[in-house]
């Protein structure tokens, strides 16, 4: 990845080496952004562990759009059994790390009177996630974060929104076994579909959208319960 070329809008994507991070990089570059990628390792512009204090970098002052995408999901345990150190590590990366990066970019945005903050939360932020309380709690924290940033940033032309993905992969595909009726769309999303939504929020057409949480989950969590006989599936005989 190359560094920013001043004169073009600059987007910073955290978690840039991952699946969604790469899709975000590709989509934002296609929209004319110069993209700075940040991750704990990999072929990125800024190598940093967001669980620790963020090293100073003058490039943060040039960022017009920050996409807080970095996240870990490595603590699987019931709430009564989870080790606090594990819980804390997930929150440090997913929530505190997002704040560290956003805070580093805010002075430049305020000075220029323009900015876009987009936090990649999760459907788990509103639905919960069995055996992953640290992940769900950290992602829920992002929702309060963006609402407060939206209030404070409004007078400075800064919007803040959260995108809540559901199940996704490199390409749209069938649902994992046992999840057949949990997603209204009947499939998983592709990383590119999520990146398209982020790109919209990063652009000028979304200037009046702020403090919102936008689910990109195919209707995950909508109840399939009905008091009537279900309609036949498309393509099936009645």
Share of the chain residues as helix, strand and coil, in percent rounded to the nearest 5: 35, 20, 45
What's the pLDDT tens digit per position in 32-44?
999 999 999 999 9
First-to-last C-alpha distance (Å) of the chain: 54
* Catalytic option among 135, 202, 216, 217: 135
pLDDT at 5 over 50: no
DSSP-assigned letters across all residues of 118-140: EEE--THHHH--TTBHHHHHHHH
Q: Is the pLDDT of residue 2 over 50?
A: no
φ and ψ at residue 119, rounded to 5 degrees:
-100, 130
Asked if 208 is an active-site residue, the reply is no
Domains of the chain, with CATH numbers?
10-216 (3.40.50.720)
Residue 221's pLDDT band (boundaries 50, 70, 90)? confident
Compute the Cα dihedral for 104, 105, 110, 112 and give only its sign. positive
pLDDT tens, residue by residue, 137-194: 999 999 999 999 999 999 999 999 999 999 999 999 999 887 878 899 999 999 999 9
φ and ψ of 104, to 5 deg:
-65, -30
- What pLDDT does 95 receive? 98
pTM of the model as a whole: 0.91
Contact partners, residue 38, CB within 8 Å, separation at least 6 = 12, 13, 14, 15, 16, 44, 45, 46, 47, 48, 50, 70, 101
């Amino acid at each position: 990845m190359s560094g920013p070329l001043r004169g073009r809008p600059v987007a910073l994507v955290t978690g840039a080496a991952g699946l969604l991070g790469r899709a975000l990089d590709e989509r934002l570059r296609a929209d004319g952004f110069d993209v700075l990628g940040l991750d704990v390792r990999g072929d990125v512009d800024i190598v940093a562990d967001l669980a620790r204090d963020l090293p100073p970098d003058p490039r943060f002052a040039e960022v017009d759009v920050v996409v807080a995408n970095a996240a870990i999901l490595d603590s699987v345990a019931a709430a009564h059994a989870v080790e606090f150190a594990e819980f804390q590590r997930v929150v440090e990366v997913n929530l505190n790390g997002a704040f560290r990066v956003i805070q580093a970019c805010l002075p430049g945005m305020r000075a220029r009177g323009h900015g876009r903050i987009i936090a990649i939360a999760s459907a788990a932020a509103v639905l919960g996630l069995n055996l992953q309380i640290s992940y769900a709690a950290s992602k829920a924290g992002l929702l309060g974060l963006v609402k407060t940033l939206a209030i404070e940033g409004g007078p400075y032309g800064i919007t803040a929104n959260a995108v809540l993905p559901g199940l996704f992969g490199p390409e749209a595909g069938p649902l994992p076994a046992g999840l057949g009726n949990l997603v209204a769309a009947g499939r998983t999303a592709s990383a590119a579909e999520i990146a398209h939504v982020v790109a919209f929020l990063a652009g000028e057409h979304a200037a009046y959208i702020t403090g919102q949480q936008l689910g990109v989950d195919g209707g995950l969590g909508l109840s399939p319960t009905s008091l009537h006989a279900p309609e036949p599936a498309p393509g099936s005989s009645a």
